[in-house]
Amino acid sequence: MWENATILVTGATGSFGKKFLKVLLAEHNPKAVRCFSRDELKQSELAEMFKGEERLRLQIGDIRDRDRLMRATRGVDVLVHAAAMKQVPASEYNPFEAVKTNVIGGENIVEAALANEIPKIISLSTDKAVNPVNLYGATKLCMEKLLIQGNSYAADSPSRFSVVRYGNVVGSRGSIVPIFLRQRDTGVVTITDERMTRFWITLEQGVRFVMSCAERMEGGEIFIPKIPSMKVTDIAEAIAPDAKREIIGIRPGEKLHEVMLTEDDSRHAGEFDDHYEIYPEYHWWTPKTTQPATPVEDGFRYSSDGNTHWMTPQDLRDLLPKIEEDFHVAG
């Protein structure tokens, strides 16, 4: 589906977007890749990173601007929606801005995709959208609902919408790994709560999972990868084993554990070898026939503390060189 296709990536100058471009251009031959983002400095840095790459189209724009998005999506075959306001504290302090980007921006994606009859639209979500306790999670939950329900607006249109929901990206900006790396030299690392667990996925795993989901999607699915959990204390042990640990208390809008599939989701979810799929409970949804799933047991809950797959301190140490390469964090 990627060969000779015109692909639009929103948020293309972010960590996911840049990694997606590297994998896509190295392993496939798209006709053109439109890199849509609002930051002209990051666009110029992206141009330098892919200097000489003639398949890239650098487009300045904001997903809040429906008219600009309408123009950018003309003739597109695949839309990967990765643009978002994703920092929890920033979203709490600037709630109207988070809603404009994550919710209204999501609506604009649906409207533009339908208007220009884009066949495949896949959007990135987060485990924080499940039972949200902060505004960021709430806006991403709204985005999920808008994208999935977009299929009911498609009618006889070829457009189909799906969502990928995964956990924390190891080493991403604002995450605990770069914070611990910076704190290590001080001899003290700050831990909010020693009981805390999180789902973890590498940037490349996230990109490849999104690409595989885009290839298999039929519209309406929420895809959830099977990924390991890790205790915050094990992260500290991996990065700064000799540092003193200071307990500072859980922050506003933060959970002890994350959930990616709830007991209610389990009633209409399927399991595959490497992922789960949540299917919509609407009259327009037709169950899959070509890729049958194993029904998830009623009452099943996929949570970071109840996971059967755990990342060890040594696993994280082995990943640090790759994290430094992807995010330019000091190891």
Here the CATH number for the domain that contains residue 26 is 3.40.50.720
Structure tokens at 253: 């809008």
User: In this structure, are residues 98 and 136 in contact, taking their beta carbons and an 8 Å threshold?
Assistant: yes
Q: Is 139 helix (H, G, I), strand (E, B) or coil?
A: helix
pLDDT given for residue 195 in this prediction: 95
In a domain, 145, yes or no: yes
How is 227-256 classified by DSSP, letter by letter?
--EEEHHHHHHHH-TTSEEEE--PPTT--S
- Are 9 and 50 in contact by the 8 Å Cβ rule? The answer is no
Q: Which helix (H) or strand (E) holds 188?
A: strand 188-191
Coil/strand/helix, residue 79:
strand
Residue span of the structural domain in which 292 resides: 6-166+201-226+259-300
- The per-residue pLDDT for 289 is 58
Tell me whether residue 252 is in a domain: no
Is residue 137 within a helix (H) or strand (E), and if so which, with residue range?
Answer: helix 135-154
Q: What is the pLDDT of residue 269?
A: 94
pLDDT tens for each residue of 317-328? 998 888 777 766
Task: Convert the pLDDT of each residue in 36-71 to its tens digit.
Answer: 999 999 999 999 999 999 999 999 999 999 999 999
Mean per-residue pLDDT over the chain, rounded? 92
Contact by Cβ (8 Å): 36, 9:
yes
Could you tell me which residues are beta bridge partners of residue 247?
191
Percent of the chain with pLDDT over 70: 96
In this structure, what DSSP letter does residue 310 have?
B
173: pLDDT strictly greater than 50: yes
Q: Is residue 84 part of a domain?
A: yes
Look-up of token digits 């997903």: 63
Comparison of pLDDT for 329 and 168, the residue scoring more: 168
Residue 173 domain-assigned? no
Residue 312 included in any domain: no
pLDDT tens digits, one per residue of 80-111: 999 999 888 899 999 999 999 999 999 999 99
Choose between 282 and 134: higher pLDDT: 134
- What total of structural domains would you count in the chain? 1
**pLDDT (tens digit per residue) in 253-303:** 789 999 999 999 999 999 999 999 999 988 778 766 556 789 999 899 999
Among 128, 140, 231, 255, the one annotated catalytic:
128
Question: Does residue 108 lie within any of the structural domains?
Answer: yes
Backbone angles phi, psi at 87, to 5 degrees: -80, 125
For residues 174-200, average pLDDT: 90
Q: Quick count: other Cβ atoms within 10 Å of Cβ 106? A: 25
Is 19 an active-site residue?
A: no
**Domain assignment present for 159:** yes
Q: Is residue 233 predicted with pLDDT exceeding 50?
A: yes
For residue 330, the model assigns a pLDDT of 43
Q: Which residue has the higher pLDDT, 283 or 211?
A: 211
Between 86-90, 236-240, 312-316, the lowest mean confidence (pLDDT) is in: 86-90
- Under DSSP, is residue 129 helix (H, G, I), strand (E, B) or coil? helix
d(CA 186, CA 166): 32
* Percentage of residues in the chain having pLDDT higher than 90: 82
Q: Is residue 309 situated within a structural domain?
A: no
Work out the average pLDDT over 201-208. Answer: 94
User: Are 180 and 142 in contact, with CB atoms under 8 Å apart?
Assistant: no
